[in-house]
Structure 1
Amino acid sequence: MIANPLEDKARGLSKMYIQIGGLRIWFACVDPQFLSGLIPQLKMMCVVFFVIFFAEENGTKEMVPVLAGTYCLSSFLFTWKSFSLLFAVMLKSYDGRPVYNHTLALTLVEYTSAVYMSDLAQLFTWTCERCNGLTKGFQVIEIIVDIEYCLQAYVGVAKDLNAIIIAFRGTQEHSIQNWISDLFWKQLDLNYPDMPDAMVHHGFYTAYHNTTVRPAVLGAVKRAKKFYGENISTIMVTGHSMGGAMAAFCGLDLVVNEGEENVQVMTFGQPRIGNADFASYYSLLVPNTFRITHDHDIVPHLPPYFYYFPRKTYHHFPTEVWVRELSVLKLVRFGVEKVCDNTGEDPTCCR
């Protein structure tokens, strides 16, 4: 059973990412926004640790100066560390790219989780396990199911975000068709205007463009705009794993072929879907895109990137947000979200 992140804020985005991917080997992580709440606990842990250590060596009479010194030192170290972390995030926000919104990521990962629900009645009425908290009040317009290729998605309206939400389900463990798409590494010419030399993953491209998914999604978007036109300011597309790949193609399709101007894409554990030329075009056309990755997730590393053949290999588009695990004295583990560079293949991130 998947828990609501509001019940355990300290684990936040990383916990939700873990649960979607089914990677139980990850430890509980703490998101940067909640790091300030953890600092006092870390201070006290340091105090207790050193108090016990010196108590055994020196006795209780030595405790007052040790306690004061340890607390001051830990206060300085953790305060400086948190300030440095915030400063680094601020620097990343002023390089001309869209600013990463952690709260929005927490919301969209919930929408991404909901699309995995097998009870379509609960999904349509938005009464499922994920249909509360950050996503409460969501109005489903249409649920899309392609039985032949084992694909699922939904389109709806989030009034609190003034947005149409499109969510794509990821790879199903027992779906042969999905695994064939994942492992089919043949590249295909992309017939988008003004995209010479752009090549994409055949399986992922086909899953969106050559199935019943695309016409159903576009039709639902038009109906949503008709019913809620005045309340819609943006279209947000999301998905996990293969669903992330389909979300990226959908976002690009909305901009290039449907003329949509305000499209945001946020994916979780998305594989590479095209070469460097495609990545360049994509980043220009859909700049408000974030790929959330984790250092224990292998999917974003696939298909492989070959450093010595950058123009002839698969290449991620920006912007990656890398969730990685850190530890303090091997006692406390927490997650830090790093906004990576604008190349799509930042060597200091997930690549």
Structure 2
Amino acid sequence: MERRWWMLLMIIMCLSFVGSSARGLEIMHKVHSPLYNHTLATILVEYASAVYISDLTDLFTWTCSRCDGLTKGFEVVEIIVDVQNCLQAFVGVADDLDAIVIAFRGTQETSIQNWIEDLFWKQLDFDYPGCTDGKVHHGFFNAYNNTVVRSGILDGVSRAREIYGDLKIMVTGHSMGGAMAAFCGLDLELIYGSENVQVMTFGQPRIGNAAFASYYISVVPNTFRVTHEHDMVPHLPPYYQFFPQKTYHHFPREVWVYNLGLGFLIYEVEKICDDSGEDPDCSR
């Protein structure tokens, strides 16, 4: 009996060494530069949460209930609201990150417009320079490119750079907001001519076929999709491995956050996959 207690004590000591109660093992394989930064993820997810605030005065002055903690002191430059399509985003400057931060709101549960955009799975030809046979999700692509959102974002970034200089840009969003953030990051890198663009999304659905996924990560390599084991959204629209060019396909690099239960201990584990974007060992 005494030996069993010593063994249990050794296991607890080892787990305490590799992690804390908030974070556990960090498992990486075949990950090249850039590397996932968990601290940055905890900051950006607060911005992805704050953009859901409906009181625009509180949001613009950064005094809302979610405008504190790791995002304290953020200065909003532009809030973009598309009433007709029920879309919302903001552009601002985070002094501690030395970066322009752009956040997109995800699906509003009561918004018919948002659900139409989510379910408009018809593939649209993607004819950006250098992309062959690319196809994208019609609803998500239009939500960013064919509404007032895109012009508002570009105006906000331009104003922020005029005031604060040539800062790096971080783009984030949750769910449908993550899909729009991905298109925004590509837009800023490829069309707007920005450099040092980073995209980190949370619970993002698939937004294009395999050809688009390959193209995307080659243009915006500093991209991470954070998912967790109980979220079905990253599995939509469906992907059929035998027809990768004809269906929807995630791009790398996925960070899968899940809980590892060891008796009375629960550790949060991050597994980072960047082989194909559809690694069966990750959240799929």
TM-score between both structures, scaled by the size of structure 1? 0.76
Q: Note if 1:338 corresponds to 2:271.
A: yes
1:56-84 CA-partner distances (Å, limit 9, x unpaired): xxxxxxxxx73xx3443123223445667
SS of 1:107 mapped into structure 2: helix
Q: Give the number of aligned pairs.
A: 281
Q: Note if 1:140 corresponds to 2:76.
A: yes
Q: Note if 1:347 corresponds to 2:280.
A: yes
Q: Is the 8 A contact 2:46 2:66 kept in 1?
A: yes
State the 1:345 CA deviation.
0.6
For 1:271, the equivalent position in structure 2 comes to 205
Map residues 99-110 of structure 1 onto 2, 5 A cutoff. Answer: 99-110=35-46
Q: 1:87 to 1:242 in 2, by over 3 A?
A: closer
For 1:123, the equivalent position in structure 2 comes to 59
1:254-302 CA-partner distances (Å, limit 9, x unpaired): 0110111100000000000000000000000101111010110000000
**Percent identity of paired positions between Structure 1 and Structure 2:** 63
Q: 1:326 to 1:255 in 2, by over 3 A?
A: same
The gaps in structure 2 that reach 5 residues or longer are: none
For 2:230, the equivalent position in structure 1 comes to 296
C-alpha distance in structure 2 between counterparts of 1:251 and 1:160, whole Å: 21
For 1:157, the equivalent position in structure 2 comes to 93
Point out the structure with the larger strand share. Answer: 2
Q: Note if 1:322 corresponds to 2:256.
A: yes
Name the larger-Rg structure.
Answer: 1
C-alpha distance in structure 2 between counterparts of 1:171 and 1:225, whole Å: 29
State the 1:252 CA deviation.
0.2
State the 1:89 CA deviation.
3.9
SS of 2:269 mapped into structure 1: strand
For 1:52, the equivalent position in structure 2 comes to none
For 1:313, the equivalent position in structure 2 comes to 247
C-alpha distance in structure 2 between counterparts of 1:184 and 1:101, whole Å: 33
C-alpha distance in structure 1 between counterparts of 2:112 and 2:194, whole Å: 34
C-alpha distance in structure 1 between counterparts of 2:208 and 2:155, whole Å: 26
1:145-180 CA-partner distances (Å, limit 9, x unpaired): 000000000000001101000000000001001101
Which residue, 174, 177, 189 being the options, matches 1:240? 174
State the 1:340 CA deviation.
1.4
Which residue, 282, 286, 302 being the options, matches 2:216? 282
Map residues 205-216 of structure 1 onto 2, 5 A cutoff. Answer: 205-216=141-152
Q: Is the 8 A contact 2:179 2:204 kept in 1?
A: yes
State the 1:194 CA deviation.
1.1
Q: 1:326 to 1:90 in 2, by over 3 A?
A: closer
Q: Which amino acid aligns with 1:347?
A: P
Q: CA RMSD in A?
A: 1.9
